[in-house]
Chain A
Amino acid sequence: MKKRRRNFIKILIFKTIFLFSLTKSYSDNKFYAKKILDKKTFKKFVWYLDKNDK
């Protein structure tokens, strides 16, 4: 019984770590997708712009 409970806790911890790592990369992607930088090169300079900068 004790062994089962320990195994269950172990799996729970690993799953949580796994899910957290996914969430982090997902949120990074989301950030870039939302705030994304539109880069425009002009006269040897690369401008970092918002996609809505017209």
Chain B
Amino acid sequence: MIHKNIKELVGKSFPVIIVGSGPAGITLALSLEKRKIDCLIIEAGREEYSDESQENYAAKIIGDQITDLRYSRLRQLGGTSGHWGGWCKPIEKWNIKKWGIEYDSFSKLKEQTCEILEIENNFQQSKISNYYSQIQFQYSKVRFADKYKNHLSSSKYIHLLVDAQATHLSGENKKFESISVSQNDENIILKSNFFILCAGGIENSRILLWSKEKDNSLINNDLPIGKYWITHPWIIGGIGFLYKSKIKKILNENFINYDGPMHFATNKELVNEKKILSGAMYMNAKEDTKLYKEIVKDFLCVAPEYGKKIAKSIFGKDLKCGNIFMNLEEPPKETNKITLDRKIIDKNGVPITNLYYKKSKETLNSAKTILVELGKLFIEKDIGRIALKSEIENLESYENLGVHHHMGGTRIGNNFKTSVVDSNLKLHDLKNCFILGSSVFPTGGYSNPTFSIVQLALRLAKHLEPQII
């Protein structure tokens, strides 16, 4: 059932209250529904996109500038899945190990996650060398609002409150008892036994920080709420060309042939041996034939004889040529953090977010090493040739094309000083509050986060169900 007015819910309580109706919140609610567990989802945005609602996502970015937080996420039913890129891939086993959660509890939910995202459970990974693999993404077209709106409005067990902002949690004796909700200058308090924050990589921290400011005695002061915020820098590392047939020859039957650009990723051997962070790459220029020609022309000036060979095959499908796009991992740093602004508040009286962000030298260094080693591999196996942007070659800087993945701030761990939730996503030191979404990622790897978010939601549902029933 969908509620548009908070007055409809005055005096009501629910076994579970979920804040946020993105992939995390909806997946969790649907899983609980299967066990006939009632829940309320509180969505700050409306059923459809609105500029007015987006304005409530205004935030200050202090340090290196990144994509405006009003545009990199969506405040509406379905959350940011309303405009996501759709690229899906499970995070690697060796990256999950860093999270301190059991890989099996995560990987066994792959098939179910693929059903939700309507993609094939096929994520082949073929080793080209000790350092690199060709990897496979699946592309999901699911928009959670479109897919589940009718179901949510007719569900007996799921109540959805839209256009209402959950501002803060209150309680006592290490337990939250209620949540304050605001809508058009009206406030109500809703009670529940379990509170699950699924409001995204910024808002989860913001709600906790504001709850802490409202009542300093409830949340442990040691917890680094808002800290260790990370993203995936998305950059153009250079340009290059490669012969698809040569990669096919190396990989034989393991060659991954699918529509879209060819993706490569670093293996753990490269990450461990060179002490760098992981990254994924793809080469793309199909949409820009001018760039295609430019690169061949440039290469003719650099190596004329080899260049002539390339120029001859420019119209063939075998030659792939273009920018080298990279999705990079970032090191979690305490100084990259979310705090509350001291002066500006939103329309419901909650301080806006201040996001402190600085690009890291480790990421720049990793980008260079990844490209240099790739360049060596291309020469050694005669796959093609690549060129690094001179600012990366000289370790000066990199330019973020866009920052859309918001991770960290309420990370998983055992140590109260470096983490906020335990491996079951329960807020440390509190009995009945769980945090779900990319905000719990302690590290980001290179894979897009949504697949892992849905996996985490299914995993949390399994953990919660026996406690609720």
Known: A45-B388, A45-B390. 20 other contacts (CB 8 A): A35-B376, A35-B380, A37-B379, A40-B302, A40-B303, A41-B390, A45-B389, A46-B388, A47-B299, A47-B303, A47-B387, A48-B378, A48-B385, A48-B387, A48-B388, A49-B303, A49-B379, A49-B385, A53-B306, A54-B306
Instruction: Judge whether B301 is part of the interface by a CB distance below 8 angstroms.
Output: yes
Q: Which residues on the A side are within 8 Å of B303 (C-beta)?
A: 40, 47, 49, 53-54
Cα-based distance from A4 to B299 in the complex (angstroms): 65
Instruction: Judge whether A43 is part of the interface by a CB distance below 8 angstroms.
Output: yes
Q: Which residues on the A side are within 8 Å of B376 (C-beta)?
A: 35, 37, 48
CB–CB A50/B389 < 8 A: no
Which B residues lie at the A interface, using CB under 8 A?
238-239, 298-299, 301-306, 372, 375-376, 378-380, 385-391, 393
Cα-based distance from A53 to B382 in the complex (angstroms): 11
Which A residues lie at the B interface, using CB under 8 A?
35, 37, 40-50, 53-54
The tally of CB-CB contacts under 8 A between chains A and B is: 57
Q: Which residues on the B side are within 8 Å of A35 (C-beta)?
A: 376, 379-380
When C-beta atoms are compared, the residue in chain B nearest to A53 turns out to be: B303
Minimum CB–CB distance from B242 to chain A (whole Å) comes to: 13
Q: Which residues on the B side are within 8 Å of A37 (C-beta)?
A: 375-376, 379
CB–CB A48/B386 < 8 A: yes
Minimum CB–CB distance from A49 to chain B (whole Å) comes to: 6
A45's contact among B298, B304, B380, by CB below 8 Å, is which?
Answer: B298
A42's contact among B302, B379, B386, by CB below 8 Å, is which?
Answer: B302
Minimum CB–CB distance from A36 to chain B (whole Å) comes to: 9
Q: Which residues on the B side are within 8 Å of A50 (C-beta)?
A: 379
